[in-house]
Amino acid sequence: MNHSQSPSDASLIERQAKEIEILKRRLLEAQKLTAMGELVSTTTHEFNNVLMAVINYARMGLRHKDEQTRNNCFEKIAAAGDRAAKITTGVLAMAKNRGDRMEPTDLSKIVDDTIVLLERELRKYRIELEFQNENAPLAMANGNQIQQVLLNLMINARQAMPQGGRLILKLSYDQANHTVDLLVRDHGTGIPADQLPHIFDAFYTTKTGPDETGKGGTGIGLAACRDIIEAHHGKIRVQSTVGMGTAFTIRIPAAAANPSATSTVSSGVPIAGSEMLPTSPVRH
């Protein structure tokens, strides 16, 4: 305690610090509920499409007596059922309250679940998605919170490409720093250099307001992302160039000293041009 501070002053400071921490937790929970609300219409519409596929192929199978047609209908129904299971699994995983507990987490599973939740929206806005998993090990993380960060970054990326474009997700392992790194790279409008140092500030936003889907524009999302990553003892970094796009990289400690590699998954072509971001990076 500073000698100039009285016990009552120290008590007040401690009480205020606790109140700030409580407000931060409530803000993160509100951000999570907001993200859930934003996804309700998207996932409900997608689930309805799956149900229509099941109903239509079941009716077709009932109308046709030949074995080949019926087998084809059964295959389509099974595929639709798998799709429905993925949608519900993604929603339930996000809704699950894991508290603040950190545990060895497969971030590739988090990415897959998040892609399922946003797939229809990305298609609607003509966003080409590429996900590369470069042999990344488990991370010490809270899966629910990391999914919240990823949802926010992917929605921001979609909004930065109003005419459509390419979104790259890349999961890799930095052996030197023993971190699992997740890159979210868009090829959109980019962020002006004078705004970059402020984008993680609470209530600061580069947007004029929420878009037609009601997403974005509050200045809360990236500040919440920063708080979540810092709570993971990780780092979040951004690079951006106007007219070329923006790249966010989150770095989270890996779970084990000698992690066992997961199977490599690559979708699309290797990343090209991901280093074409000459603007000085902002680190937090």
- Has residue 219 got a pLDDT over 50? no
Encoded tokens for 39: 């996804």
Provide the pLDDT for residue 116.
83
Q: Is the pLDDT of residue 184 over 90?
A: yes
Higher-scoring residue by pLDDT: 128, 92: 128
Q: Is residue 144 included in any domain, yes or no?
A: yes
The greatest distance separating any two alpha carbons of the chain, rounded to the nearest whole angstrom, comes to 90
**What integer best gives the mean pLDDT of the chain?**
77
Which CATH number do you get for residue 120? 3.30.565.10
Q: Who wins on pLDDT, 114 or 44?
A: 114
With a cut of 90, say whether residue 63 has pLDDT above it. no
Sheet strands (E) in 194-274: 235-241, 245-253, 265-266
pTM for this model (two decimals): 0.64
Q: What are the pLDDT digits (tens) for 45-54?
A: 677 777 888 8
Residue pLDDT, tens place only, 68-98: 888 888 888 988 888 787 777 767 766 665 5
Say which residues have a Cβ less than 8 Å from residue 235's Cβ, sequence separation at least 6: 229, 250, 251, 283, 284
Backbone phi and psi for residue 238, each to the nearest 5 degrees, phi listed first? -130, 140
CA distance 195 to 206: 8
Q: Report the pLDDT value the prediction gives residue 274, as an integer from 0 to 100.
A: 35
The 10s digit of each residue's pLDDT in 92-104 is 766 665 567 889 9
Residue 217 tokens read as 């524009």
> How many domains does the structure of the chain reveal?
1
Q: Say how far apart CA 72 and CA 78 lie, in whole Å.
A: 10
Could you tell me the residue range of the domain that residue 143 belongs to? 104-283
| pLDDT for position 172 | 95
Q: Is residue 48 part of a domain?
A: no
| Top-confidence residue, 157 or 204 | 157
Question: Which amino acid, 167?
Answer: L
Side chain identity at 263, as an amino acid letter? Answer: S
Nearest-angstrom CA–CA distance, 255 and 84 = 31
pLDDT score, position 284: 47
Q: Is residue 216 part of a domain?
A: yes
pLDDT, residue 34, reads 61
22 φ/ψ angles, rounded to the nearest 5 degrees = -65, -45
* pLDDT attached to residue 30: 62
Indicate whether 161 belongs to any domain.
yes
Domain membership flag for residue 246: yes
Q: Give every CB contact of residue 275 below 8 A, 6+ residues apart in sequence.
A: none
Percentage of the chain surpassing pLDDT 70?
69
H-helix or E-strand containing 44?
Answer: helix 7-63
Asked if residue 11 belongs to a domain, the reply is: no
Within a 10 A sphere around the Cβ of 216, how many other Cβ atoms?
22
Q: Is residue 79 part of a domain?
A: no
pLDDT digits (tens, 9 = 90+) for 249-274: 999 999 975 444 333 333 332 323 33
Model confidence pLDDT, tens digit, residues 2-19: 555 566 767 777 777 777
> Residue 47 falls within a domain, yes or no?
no
C-alpha angle 76-81-84 in degrees, rounded to nearest 5: 130
